Structure 1
């Protein structure tokens, strides 16, 4: 199972709830642990979302994108412009950048209840990493995630920093857990350069675990 960005949190939770349903877990720049004061993006986002948010509303995908941009403008606005500028003389890199930008705009509305649970249970209370998240009657956490796991992290990323993934890897019962650190010069979340640099190592890991 492959998870990128916040989708990685859901992929990790599913893999912990149903470990027999997956052969391995690949987390690409995915924040999973949300301990306060370790992730500025998490702290900013939590401060913006009211605890008493209505669960009955439908939340537009564009609203979530704007909230992310407000919480981390360097990552979601300026670094993307920088990435485009640095790719301008490389047609292949520019094509990848355009595809990533198009993918990022593929927004879907979400139920208010889901957004509320994500904001409260995962971001505000860090339930999954603390091992107190209950899904379908079962309490899960890193100790339930007994599957081969590979995580990649850009050490300059402000949305998915090292502190948002290392505690998970340290708590896994499996001995088959690896971390690829990419010392990016800028916080290019889902950047072209990061994806190309880590590609061979990721493909080799997938081939070894298929």
Structure 2
């Protein structure tokens, strides 16, 4: 599947309209070309066949299951950075395939590259309206009723906000390395966000924030995680063919930069990373308050004690403040062959050997 050339004309258009975007367009174009090279040499993703259940500006809802009669419904909410196929990377490192094999009805909210319309989208869209549309589309196929939500990184943040806004729509919440508490004492990215210039400087032109800019900012915030540790993982994977294949697939995925809607970028940086509004109870989305104590559904959180991108202290304070009476914490210890340890809980061999079977048991136990 050729992800590298998708929306290239759109990127050129954005470059012509926005002088600031042109600075990063050559980098984005090079990385897309590098992604094509990965595909041609056999290191691209191997995605599970799917059908489109619903499509609208900013989102395509993928279904991997029959239109009715399947098991408990799992809606995956990815992060808005890079492409969502990290959840379905290769057959042995695919949460989608594992969910299907366990008898779940699996859907994936596949964020699309923001264009003119989506540039105005913020948390009210990504954490509320678009997920509502997914749940309604699923209801037409599977019958109305609450669904399980699973989210990794900022996708888990979105899923949590949705659960706070729509408690009756969520049967259970699975969060994997999802940041919900922010502050300079939490981790390198939070410390960088506290010292960086206001987000409005990057969003003033009103065009999507370039994917390569987001990657560059991540590297500046934590060069150890996004630099040396990736190289080290590749070197340690050389003696293990499957680990090396997974490592290269993640590296190919890392070339698939997703620009971010400027409104969303500004709200994430200012409202979350700088002001920690959610944990402080002062976050408002669409005129409705969003706070930890409004999350009532059964809750399973996965933390990685060694992760610098989303350390446990970014997750556990929320876990303790949520109103959920049924709350579980699982710890993931890392893997070789995942390039970025932050995504290891989605693609790592040890994660799929021990972590995901336990998550599947939890989903089925709460789906009865």
Same fold by TM-score, threshold 0.5 exceeded? yes
Identify the residue that residue 351 of structure 2 maps to in structure 1: 195
Native 8 Å contact 2:335 2:350 kept in 1? no
- 1:61-96 CA distance string (max 9 Å, x none): 221111111111111222222222222222222232
Do the aligned partners of residues 104 and 24 (structure 1) sit closer, same or farther apart at CA in structure 2, a change above 3 Å counting? farther
- Alpha-carbon distance in 1 for matches of 2:192, 2:329: 26
RMSD over equivalenced CA pairs, Å: 2.2
Q: Helix, strand or coil: the match of 2:220?
A: helix
Which of structure 1's runs of 4+ aligned residues deviate more than 6 A? none
1:43 is matched with 191
Check the 8 A contact 2:332/2:351 in 1, yes or no: no
Q: Which moved more, 1:90-99 or 1:179-188?
A: 179-188
1:151-188 residue CA offsets vs partner (Å, 9 max, x unmatched): 11110111111110010000011111111123459982
Confirm or deny: 8 A CA contact 2:179 2:315 kept in the other structure: yes
Where does the alignment leave 5 or more consecutive residues of structure 1 unmatched? none
Superposed counterparts of 1:1-210, under 5 Å: 1-53=149-201, 54-55=203-204, 56-184=206-334, 188-191=341-344, 192=348, 195-196=351-352, 197-210=354-367
Higher relative contact order (CA 8 A, sep 6+): 1
In 2, the alpha carbon distance for the partners of 1:93 and 1:200 equals: 20
Matched position secondary structure for 1:107? coil
Note if contact 2:172-2:366 (Cα within 8 Å) is conserved in structure 1: yes
**Structure 2: how far apart are the matches of 1:195 and 1:103?**
19
Say if 1:4 and 1:30, in contact at 8 Å, map to a contact too: yes
Asked which structure has the greater CA Rg, the reply is 2
Give structure 2 stretches of 5+ with no counterpart: 1-148
The answer to whether the 8 Å contact 1:45/1:67 transfers is no
29-38 or 47-56: bigger deviation? 47-56
Q: How many Å separate the matches in 1 of 2:234 and 2:305?
A: 20
* 1:36 partner SS: coil
Q: Deviations over 1:19-42 (max 9, x none)?
A: 222221111112211033222321
Q: Which piece of structure 1 moves more, 48-57 or 157-166?
A: 48-57
SS state of the match for residue 23, structure 1?
strand
